[in-house]
Amino acid sequence: MDSGRRELTSEEHTLYIELISEKKRVIDKEKSIYEIIPKHKRYRVYIGRFFELKRGLHKLFNGLKEAGDGDYLELVINSSGGLINEGQQFYNIIQEKFYGRTVAYLNNMGYSMGALLFCMADKRVVYEYSDLMFHTYSHGSKGKGDEVQSHVEHTSKKLRKFFKHIVVKRGFLTKKEFKAMMIGKDFWMDTEEMCRRGIATHVIMEGKELTADDYLDRLKSE
């Protein structure tokens, strides 16, 4: 592993970029079948609140924009949520630079925008006591009456579509639950519930990474 590492920070998030050397992974030792994993970079972002008021996210996203086709993104989330606009910027960078190559770790909470970001990843890893919560957005507007009305209607339409794409299209909430969420119901979920709904794909416990199904089977046997 290359010793050269980069660190980029904002107020709430930290990005570490690390070069991973080429390595060989054994597929079948007896038949001498191996997989060569080429040199690539790991982009690991520790996620806090989505509430950048001073420094902004330009430096962090500029670093992520440098990613190549073989690089991948890890999101380590411990977030109570915050501004949706910032979360949507992460969604955009995943779509642009890390599509199909994003792993998220829920360490230890993901509420509101933190929950949505967790759901954006391809592989979603939780721990025994990880905590997740979906709820509807908060929004405000200033200006003349007709401007406020127009802005609120536009924002409501856009955000409903965004929320639905993340949590309903992927089967994490039913359409009925989504409607309830949009009018104020909070959905709190522990590790078992996240595994049952397919929100979590893996669970880390006792030094091992279990699939969600293996974790649920283990709970049944206890």
- The tens digit of pLDDT for each residue in 106-158 reads 999 999 999 999 999 999 999 999 999 999 998 766 777 788 888 878 988 99
pLDDT in tens, the chain (222 residues): 344 689 999 999 999 999 988 777 767 777 777 677 688 999 999 999 999 988 789 999 999 999 999 999 999 999 999 999 999 999 999 999 999 999 999 999 999 999 999 999 999 999 999 999 999 998 766 777 788 888 878 988 999 999 999 999 999 999 999 999 999 999 999 999 999 999 999 999 999 999 999 999 999 988
Note whether residue 82 is domain-resident: yes
Q: Would residue 140 count as lying in a domain?
A: no
Average pLDDT, the chain: 92
Q: State the DSSP code for 17.
A: E
What does the pLDDT read at residue 141?
A: 66
User: What is the value of pTM for the model shown?
Assistant: 0.90
Is 101 within 8 Å of 81 (Cβ atoms)?
Answer: no
Q: Residue 199: which of 84, 136, 121, 91 has the closest Cα?
A: 121
| Domain of 204, in residue numbers | 5-135+186-221
Asked if the structure places residue 172 within a domain, the reply is no
Residues in Cβ contact with 67 at an 8 Å cutoff, skipping those fewer than 6 apart: 41, 43, 73, 97, 98
Domain harbouring 120, CATH code: 3.90.226
Nearest to 64 by CA among 44, 83, 50, 38: 44
Q: Position of tokens 């957005």?
A: 137
The DSSP code for 211 is E
Comparing CA positions, the residue from 86, 6, 85 lying closest to residue 43 is 6
User: Which pairing describes strands 33-37 and 23-28: parallel, antiparallel, or unpaired?
Assistant: antiparallel
Joined together, the tokens standing for residue 199 give 């929100």
- Predicted confidence at residue 1, as pLDDT, reads 39
Count of the separate structural domains present in the chain: 1
3-class SS of residue 26: strand
